[in-house]
Amino acid sequence: MPEGQTEEESLGNIKDAIHDYLETVDELGKDKESRYVKVC
């Protein structure tokens, strides 16, 4: 998916994929308890 004609296009594709993933995670997590854990 990150393939693009230029580095800028590839980075844009990666950004879009991450955005879509996070939207899906938010949607699937509605009405469920969740916790965030920081790992150092």
Residue with tokens 């308890």: 33
What's the CA gap between 4 and 22, in Å, rounded?
22
**Count of H-run helices and E-run strands, the chain:** 1, 0
CA atoms within 13 A on the CB side of 9: 5
pLDDT digits (tens, 9 = 90+) for 1-40: 578 899 999 999 999 999 999 999 889 888 888 788 999 8
- Give the residue extent of every domain in the chain: 1-40
Kindly report the length of the chain: 40
